[in-house]
Amino acid sequence: MAGNRTFTMIKPGAVRNGHIGAILAKINEAGFRIVAMKYTKLSAEKAGEFYAVHKERPFYGELVEFMSSGPIVAAILEKDNAVEDFRELIGATNPAEAKPGTIRALYATSIGENAVHGSDSDENAAIEGSFHFAGTEIF
């Protein structure tokens, strides 16, 4: 089952710009089932913890500040080959390099404020999902 799930966040920029509905529609149209979802806000501490793997990168401070700057939508999504197919749906990290029609090409404003997060492995999908959701919140 783990291989069929990924974790996503609609980031604060895309929420501020009014794209929650459009992004969820793309996710549904691509065949993902939402198995958990919440509208929430990360504290700077929680954002720092989520992105701890990037601690040494020059953009870490700005990433933590951005990710805690407003509400997000966090969700666990289910589909065959979820991690890879979702990365394909969202497009490259840098929206300038994202394929036309991908979520980042449509809704990201910069490499830092790139609309959505998508897990990069089954292992991280499981870790990130449990970072945000208790077992009783997953359906």
> Shortest approach of ligand ADP to residue 25 CB, angstroms?
21
Determine if 6 is a binding residue for ligand ADP (CB under 6 A): no
Q: Which is nearer to ligand ADP, 4 or 93 (CB)?
A: 93
Q: Which is nearer to ligand ADP, 71 or 112 (CB)?
A: 112
Q: Beta strand 72-78 with 33-40: parallel, antiparallel or unpaired? A: antiparallel
Rg of the chain over all Cα atoms, to the nearest angstrom = 14
User: Scanning residues 81 to 110, which ones bind ligand ADP (CB under 6 A)?
Assistant: 93
Determine if 10 is a binding residue for ligand ADP (CB under 6 A): no
Determine if 8 is a binding residue for ligand ADP (CB under 6 A): no
Determine if 120 is a binding residue for ligand ADP (CB under 6 A): yes
Q: Which stretch binds ligand ADP (CB under 6 A): 28-36, 39-47, 72-80, 112-120?
A: 112-120
> Shortest approach of ligand ADP to residue 33 CB, angstroms?
22
Q: DSSP states of the chain as a string?
A: -GGGEEEEEE-HHHHHTT-HHHHHHHHHHTT-EEEEEEEE---HHHHHHHTGGGTTSTTHHHHHHHHTSS-EEEEEEE-TTHHHHHHHHH--SSGGGSPTTSHHHHH--SSSS-SEEE-SSHHHHHHHHHHH--GGG--
- Which residues are near ligand ADP by CB under 6 A? 54, 59, 63, 93, 111-112, 114, 117, 120
Active site members? 117
